[in-house]
A and B are shown apart, each in its own frame.
Chain A
Amino acid sequence: MDAFFVSVEELADPTLKGKPVVVGGKAHERGVVSAASYAVRKFGVHSAMPLREAYRRCPQAIFIEGSPAKYREYSRKARKILKGFSPSVEMASIDEAYLDMTGCERLLGPPLKAAHDLHEAVRAETGLPCSLGIGCSRLTAKIGSGLAKPNGILRVMPGAEAAFLAPLDIARIPGVGKTMQQKLRRLGIRKIGQIAQQDAGFLADRFGKAGLALAGKARGEDAGAWFSAPFTDRETPKSFSHETTFGEDTMDGALIDATLAKLVQLTARRLREHRLFGRTVQLKIRYSDFTTVTRARTLDSPTRLDSVILRAIRELFRKNRQRGRPVRLLGVHIGSLEESEGQLPLIDKEQRQKWSRALEAADALRDRFGESAVGLAAALRHGRRERVHENPAVSAGKENLEKTETAPNRS
């Protein structure tokens, strides 16, 4: 999707069209940009940039807090449309998907025609612009779609991958972050074609496994952690996480506890939405000096209950927090997801059933009246806003995942 969050906001408020828009929060707030309109990108504003920095670069920009529930809804809509074009749809993030079109020619016609039809279907049914890349690997398709933006389609002909990639800047390669770019530039490598000319051994010596993957990527192959994994249309996420940065660093125990409760509530809701149970609970604490601690615990059986997760999170916090240091950020992460709760409880069976029913009812209320309709009393003091992050423009793997909802995390 093109500037997905911004496009969704424009649907609700057409006056935003063509203007510099930043989604993520108010200009003076802490936190980062989750999405930037094309108009504001001209000022050098991009996602993952601190909001204050975005304001410095473009003070006239319109800052919007964003509405994650709405983005998710549009993401689901788009996915449904994609499913009409191919049975194999891999959602790589909230606004990015791969379709395996193998064998669809007889039904949908040649690749470009199918792409045009898909492009039109998304526009007609959601009103949102998107861009498509067509290629023999997910990597070329991804880079292609990036170049096709906004609102375009680009096909990389079979056999032409290396030639297509050669003149492009190395920053276009998904998974090549700042550090690797710097290292490559120091070696005099600026274009993807220059990587393709290097001996694989040379790259492996300098970058290890990542170097080998890089050699493959430069030839347009699906190489490296994320791309080398088999295509999967699995909808089951690997983990869920929510985190929040305080407006001001805090040592206020009550505020911290309320925030933990709120984060747990959001995460457990995701679990139930996906009909999953989580077994590993992880807490992340970042102090004001940016030192970050993450500590995890494995529960003795998987759960989707706020109460059970909160108990574990509170215990992790109590054991691991360093007293006297102001907290900047807190995060809750649930992993080791399972489709069944496994071992049934013997002791607090009724209590768990009650919790389970109460949370189901709460979820139903939230579906109807919004996320803030009902919540844990413990979480009340913290009026945390939920934030979702769009894809940073060019990158894949770890950074390419929805921040609040870690979709197929295979990196």
Chain B
Amino acid sequence: MELTLKTSDLVEELSVGQGAVEKKTTIPVLSNVLIEARAGEVVLTATDLEISIQSSCPAAVKENGSTTLPSRRLLDYVRLLPDMELAFRVLENQSASLTCGRSRTRIAGMSAENYPELPEMPAVLTHIPAKVLTNAISKTSFAVADEESRYTLTGALLIIREDSLVMVATDGHRMAYFEKPHKFDGISGEVKGLIPKKALAELSMLAEKLAAQGDESLTIMVDFASDENHLFFRCGKRLLVMRKLTGQFPDYERVLPREAGMSIEIGREEFMAAVRRVAQFADERSRAVRLELEEGQLKLIASGSDAGESEESLPTVYSGDRVQVGFNSVYMLDFLGAVSEARNVEIQFKDEESAGQFRIPGEDSYDYRYVVMPMRV
């Protein structure tokens, strides 16, 4: 195998694949990136067996072939080279010689034969606007559970129906629900899959890079396909394959509150700043902040820590009964951070035992609900 390519192209594609490179070294070849030279391009593949990323960059190929090289080391080195032509040649015993200007380097590699094969992408089912994907992920992925013991909560549920895309995530205490109406050709009924947290991050990154190539409209599409065990997302020349999480995702529809209870609107930035300040004095373990809603104002109170206590009030239009309810301040800040486009946020709650709901008032191009269970304070 012998070829030349531009260092900047190689750096870009190696970076894109880095998230799929296995960090543990139980299977040594998975720390490597598979490099395959074909007519006019070089294809790079990285996998940790859960997610795989394949991409390519243009190259002048003199001789076809393949090898694997340590991904991190290769990237760290090539990144330091000037942006110019890089001559790449595989020597005997799987090592590769890299020549760029006056630099000459040999990197030890491993045979491509031992590299796992990527599952074949089936026929494309439908196309998802890249912007819809990135929006769905940014509004839900923070609610995915970190706790391993609740296995099916460690991913977000993606549902594609004929007329909408739904993404839901929950960690058992709160749930983020995103639904975007959109006509999905080729789908009848619905297609579902549980996407692991790490894959969400990679998908978001790839979709974002793709969307950045176009304008603000929803015309840039990600090709979507699915087989029994995998989901496939093709973002332009890059392909992300992920193994679906197996297991039963909770019945999220039962969790969505039916009656609204009290509802107020409040400026996002003011509210966020107040939560941040008051939360400095929240109990360190529970992070609980009490919201007290009374005529004309919403009070935020943190007490119970040895450090002291803090209180702040924000004016709001409200004239009902006095209600108080405690929420984890981190949960509230997660939501407020995810809706940076909103000027105001809507908070609905019923009583200290029932779930509260956070939304963006007046947003009608998509449905976004963030449901949070209170804390006893």
Check if A322 is an interface residue, CB within 8 A of chain B. Answer: no
Which residues on B sit within 8 Å (CB–CB) of A312? Answer: 149
Which residues on B sit within 8 Å (CB–CB) of A342? Answer: 286, 288, 375-376
Q: CA–CA, A311 to B147, complex, Å?
A: 12
Check if B355 is an interface residue, CB within 8 A of chain A. Answer: yes
- B328 to chain A: closest residue by CB: A343
Q: CA–CA, A342 to B372, complex, Å?
A: 13
Report the stretch among B25-33, B56-64, B166-174, B203-211 that lies at the interface. Answer: B166-174
Contact of B255 among A301, A340, A343, A346 (CB under 8 A): A346
Contact of A315 among B149, B170, B286 (CB under 8 A): B149
B358 to chain A, nearest CB (A): 13
Q: Are B250 and A347 in contact (CB under 8 A)?
A: yes
- B171 to chain A: closest residue by CB: A300
Which residues on A sit within 8 Å (CB–CB) of B153? Answer: 347
Q: Are A343 and B375 in contact (CB under 8 A)?
A: yes
Contact of A344 among B175, B250, B374 (CB under 8 A): B374
Q: Are A346 and B175 in contact (CB under 8 A)?
A: yes
Contact of A346 among B147, B173, B288, B376 (CB under 8 A): B173
Which residues on B sit within 8 Å (CB–CB) of A344? Answer: 173, 353, 373-376
- A308 to chain B: closest residue by CB: B149
Check if B371 is an interface residue, CB within 8 A of chain A. Answer: yes
Q: Are B147 and A300 in contact (CB under 8 A)?
A: yes
Q: CA–CA, A301 to B371, complex, Å?
A: 18
- B371 to chain A: closest residue by CB: A346
Check if A100 is an interface residue, CB within 8 A of chain B. Answer: no
Q: Are B173 and A301 in contact (CB under 8 A)?
A: yes
Q: Are A343 and B373 in contact (CB under 8 A)?
A: yes
Which residues on B sit within 8 Å (CB–CB) of A311? Answer: 149
Which residues on B sit within 8 Å (CB–CB) of A279? Answer: 285
Q: Are B172 and A300 in contact (CB under 8 A)?
A: yes
Q: Are B170 and A346 in contact (CB under 8 A)?
A: yes
Q: Are B149 and A343 in contact (CB under 8 A)?
A: no
Check if A345 is an interface residue, CB within 8 A of chain B. Answer: yes
Contact of A347 among B172, B376, B377 (CB under 8 A): B172
B374 to chain A, nearest CB (A): 6
Q: CA–CA, A301 to B286, complex, Å?
A: 8
Q: Are B170 and A347 in contact (CB under 8 A)?
A: yes
Q: CA–CA, A318 to B174, complex, Å?
A: 28
Q: Are B149 and A340 in contact (CB under 8 A)?
A: no
Determine the interface band of chain B, counting residues with CB < 8 A from chain A.
20 to 34
Check if A233 is an interface residue, CB within 8 A of chain B. Answer: no
Q: Are A343 and B170 in contact (CB under 8 A)?
A: no
B205 to chain A, nearest CB (A): 27
Check if A348 is an interface residue, CB within 8 A of chain B. Answer: yes
Q: CA–CA, A346 to B145, complex, Å?
A: 13
Contact of A340 among B174, B328, B376 (CB under 8 A): B376
Q: CA–CA, A2 to B147, complex, Å?
A: 49
Within 8 A of B (CB), among A295-351: 300-301, 311-312, 315, 336, 340-349
- B251 to chain A: closest residue by CB: A347
Which residues on A sit within 8 Å (CB–CB) of B250? Answer: 347-348
Within 8 A of A (CB), among B310-364: 328, 353, 355
Within 8 A of B (CB), among A166-200: none
Q: CA–CA, A343 to B356, complex, Å?
A: 13
Q: Are A346 and B172 in contact (CB under 8 A)?
A: yes
Q: CA–CA, A301 to B283, complex, Å?
A: 14
Q: A312-B149, A315-B149 are in contact. Are A341 and B173 (CB under 8 A)?
A: no
Contact digits for B44-67, partner A, Cβ 8 Å, 1 yes 0 no = 000000000000000000000000
B242 to chain A, nearest CB (A): 24
Q: CA–CA, A315 to B150, complex, Å?
A: 11
- B288 to chain A: closest residue by CB: A342
Q: Are A345 and B172 in contact (CB under 8 A)?
A: yes
Q: Are A346 and B373 in contact (CB under 8 A)?
A: yes
Which residues on B sit within 8 Å (CB–CB) of A348? Answer: 172, 250
Centre residue among B174, B250, B285 by max chain A CB count within 10 A = B285
B289 to chain A, nearest CB (A): 13
Q: CA–CA, A301 to B355, complex, Å?
A: 16
Centre residue among A279, A312, A344 by max chain B CB count within 10 A = A344
- A316 to chain B: closest residue by CB: B149
Q: Are B174 and A346 in contact (CB under 8 A)?
A: yes
Q: CA–CA, A349 to B288, complex, Å?
A: 20
Within 8 A of A (CB), among B208-250: 250
Contact digits for B173-204, partner A, Cβ 8 Å, 1 yes 0 no = 11100000000000000000000000000000
Which residues on A sit within 8 Å (CB–CB) of B328? Answer: 343
- A279 to chain B: closest residue by CB: B285
B190 to chain A, nearest CB (A): 22
B85 to chain A, nearest CB (A): 51
B172 to chain A, nearest CB (A): 5
B301 to chain A, nearest CB (A): 16
A159 to chain B, nearest CB (A): 37
Q: CA–CA, A317 to B153, complex, Å?
A: 22
Contact digits for B272-291, partner A, Cβ 8 Å, 1 yes 0 no = 00000000000001101000
Q: Are A346 and B286 in contact (CB under 8 A)?
A: no
Which residues on B sit within 8 Å (CB–CB) of A341? Answer: 376
Contact of B173 among A300, A315, A336 (CB under 8 A): A300
Within 8 A of A (CB), among B9-35: none
8 cross-chain pairs, A with B, having the tightest CB-CB distances, nearest first:
A344-B373, A346-B373, A340-B376, A347-B172, A347-B250, A342-B286, A343-B375, A343-B173
22 sampled A-B residue pairs with Cβ under 8 A: A279-B285, A300-B147, A300-B171, A301-B173, A311-B149, A315-B149, A340-B377, A343-B173, A343-B328, A343-B373, A344-B173, A344-B353, A344-B373, A344-B376, A345-B172, A346-B175, A346-B255, A346-B355, A346-B371, A348-B172, A348-B250, A349-B373
Binding site for B on A (CB under 8 A): 279, 300-301, 311-312, 315, 336, 340-349
Binding site for A on B (CB under 8 A): 147-149, 153, 170-175, 250, 255, 285-286, 288, 328, 353, 355, 371-377
Q: With A341-B376, A345-B373, A348-B250 given, name 7 new contacts (CB 8 A).
A: A300-B173, A311-B149, A342-B288, A346-B172, A346-B175, A346-B373, A347-B175
